[in-house]
Amino acid sequence: MREAGVELNVYSFSCLIKSFAGACALFQGLKTHGLLIKNGLMSSNILRTSLIDMYLKCGKVKLALRVFEEVEERDVVVWGAIIAGFAHNRLQREALEYVRWMSMEGVEVNSVIITTILPVIGEVGARKLGQEVHAYIIKTKEYSKQLFIQSGLVDMYCKCGDMASGRKVFYSSKERNAVSWTALISGYVSNGRLEQALRAIMWMQEEGFMPDFVTVATVLPVCGELRALKQGKEIHSYSIKNGFSPNVSVATSLMMMYSKSGLLEYSSRIFNSLENKNVISWTAMIDSCIQCGCIPEAFGVFRSMQLSKHRPDSVATARMLSACSELGVLKLGREIHGQVLKRDFQSIPFVSAELVKMYGFCQAVDKAKLAFHAIPVKGSITWTAFIDAYKCNGQYQEAINVFKQMISDGFSPNYYTLQVVLYICKKAGFVDEACQYFTLMTRKYKIKPSEDNYSSIVGLLRHSGRDKEAEKYVRLQASLTG
């Protein structure tokens, strides 16, 4: 256009910036921003909103905020762009703070912002805030009739663990569609109500709504968990009939469903039939082999993946390290360690944790120590893996020393740390330490112990002849679960 002598205007620049946002083309976006300043077009709210959206989709939050702060009169579209951008970058707290700020500025929330913040509220589990938003939706009668908002409410309540409210919103809605049914089914899954999730897909069809590929991908893992092979095969047939099979999320869900039923041959067939394989489908095939206990086959898939155009990502690498741990295959584990260093995966917590654990399980605790100390940024997951490495080698006192160092260095233990530490105390007969660490983690770090955790400490105390103390823990467990 410029070469032809046609002047770019606000709307053509806006379309251009949107295309850069979709492609995450930051460099071109920056150049265009410079052109806007040069041509004196930065007074346009349309262009400022497009720039905010582009920077946030490229992950450049500070640049987006700088543009946002330059806008003197912010309308609902500008606010919506910054809030949606925060949600896109998983900055949930910031998204909610800006919604409050927007309301304080006197700008009324619209349906677009409501559908943006409902998933955010669900992700942080802010049920009380969700109820306030729900009340606002009911107050503005126009929004309460909109199906996508109703579906968002169902999803939000279910993510907050309030299935009763989610069901109430769903069943009180005069209209329903495939999206609202999928929100309810997803809610059942996330709250562990797998049988109800499976029944819901049948009720959905009885009401005349056909499951889409999202519904199918949501329900297939349920069939795998419940070993409901008959229903899984029916959904597979439905997927083929409706052309969902080439979809990667559906195909990988089918692969995992069959592998959980012990049918690796079916998983392989689906994988081989995929024309456009990607990292996710390759990783699913590795997982399928591991699920069926076919570890050598998993190694074979991993090697084929290395030779393909889709090199193993951090998830596939972590899964293979886990497989090496299970088999105790140190040679291949060291080879994958080389890949971790080459791809700079050691800074990813779940990869570095699996690496440390792999050396521990392979009886190479000195290598586990070296791997741990080489991790640039440590966290609870890597500290727990290091404790676990000593535990696997029966070096219980060293494991407890690492736990003490973890606390001393200011790292917070998690639920898995509690499990590992209590196991060590039980195996080593560290009765006093078990009581001390159980109290520390439940009171100071607010870790909710499981029935197995209580059983471990009660068994340890009774084995040591300290029955009265054991009874205290039995009563404590009863008071918390009763």
Share of the chain above pLDDT 90, in %: 66
Q: Which residue has the higher pLDDT, 160 or 474?
A: 160
Q: Where are the domains of the chain?
A: 1-108, 122-210, 416-481
- Average pLDDT on 431-452 reads 88
Q: Looking at beta carbons, which pairs linking 14-23 to residues 24 or more positions away fall under 8 Å? A: 14/46, 14/47, 14/50, 17/47, 17/50, 17/51, 17/53, 17/54, 18/50, 18/53, 18/54, 20/54, 21/50, 21/53, 21/54, 21/57, 21/58, 22/57
pLDDT of res. 445: 87
Model pLDDT for residues 98-128, shown as the tens digit of each residue? 999 999 999 999 999 999 999 999 999 999 9
Model pLDDT for residues 21-31, shown as the tens digit of each residue? 888 888 999 99
Instruction: Tell me 67's DSSP state.
Output: H
